[in-house]
Amino acid sequence: MKIEVLFPEICNLFGDLYNINYLEKCLPEVQRVHTPLTGQPLFLTEEPALVYLGPMSERSQEKVLEKLRPCRDRLAELIQNGAAFLLTGNAGEVFGSYIENEDGSRIEGLGLLPLHARRDMMHRHNSVFLGEFQGAEAMGFKSQFTMAWPEAGAQGLFPVKKGVGLNPQCPYEGLRQGNLFFTYLLGPVLLLNPQLAEALLAAMGAGGTPLALAPEMAEAYQARLRDFHEKV
């Protein structure tokens, strides 16, 4: 079983790679493969248990798009076949229709997710989010220069309870398409949300795998949830 981490030298903001560290604790047998921007993606010749892409700078988004554009058909095939993907921060924008700059110009995305994003580089959005996932509360932090607008066929990941979704008017945060999970929530989101970790493991073909540090996670989840209810 392999997890492919795409371009970790530039897609590594906000400590999001700790999500992969945690999955390694849950699955000691897993092999972690780092694909640099100059390398050939593993997913072109194999089907990893998970393909992960983390948050990056806006300039890096264009480099990543240049690298992945020739791989679009293979990515579409993997998504259609139910391969597991985790996209965090602004990584999901790369998979969307386009990213619009302040001057109205557009950067064409891969067109694999039904959403588009708009940049506002003079105003960073920072907030705390509280939503729902599979009957439990979900939470996390947001820090971004973009907002996203879902398009026809979009399926939200976390219905909003408090905070901001994909944009201030959107009733949900993130998107799910088959076994692809995209969320703007940053940091070790799997550690904050045990239910999401379980769903991702199931998507990877490891359903029923006990969560690593489960008692500690449960205690931290309840403590963090109380804190979020007070602050959000």
Q: From first to last of its 232 residues, what are the pLDDT tens digits of the chain?
A: 999 999 999 999 888 999 999 999 999 999 999 999 999 999 999 999 999 999 999 999 999 999 999 999 999 999 999 999 999 999 999 999 999 999 999 999 999 999 999 999 999 999 999 999 999 999 999 999 999 999 999 999 999 999 999 999 999 999 999 999 999 999 899 999 999 999 999 999 999 999 999 999 999 999 999 988 887 6
Collect all residues with Cβ–Cβ distance below 8 Å to 123 and sequence separation of at least 6: 145
pLDDT at residue 230, as a whole number? 82
Collect all residues with Cβ–Cβ distance below 8 Å to 204 and sequence separation of at least 6: 1, 27, 49, 50, 84
Which of 207, 10, 68 lies closest to 197, judged by CA?
207
CA distance 190 to 187: 9
pLDDT at residue 34, as a whole number? 98
* 158: phi then psi, degrees, rounded to nearest 5: -125, 110
How is residue 209 annotated by DSSP? P
For the chain, the straight-line distance linking the first and the last C-alpha, in angstroms and rounded, comes to 39
Return the beta strands (E) in 57-114 as ranges: 85-88, 98-100, 106-108
Tokens in use for 157? Answer: 């990941």
CA distance 133 to 193: 9
For the sheet containing 180-183, what is the strand order?
31-35, 2-6, 50-53, 85-88, 180-183, 172-177, 156-162, 125-133, 136-144
| Sign of the Cα pseudo-torsion (144, 150, 151, 157, in order) | positive
Rounded to the nearest 10 degrees, the angle between the axes of helix 214-231 and helix 194-203 is 130
Distance set, CA 225 to CA 33, 64, 68, 98, 139 (Å): 33, 35, 37, 35, 8
pTM above 0.95, yes or no: yes
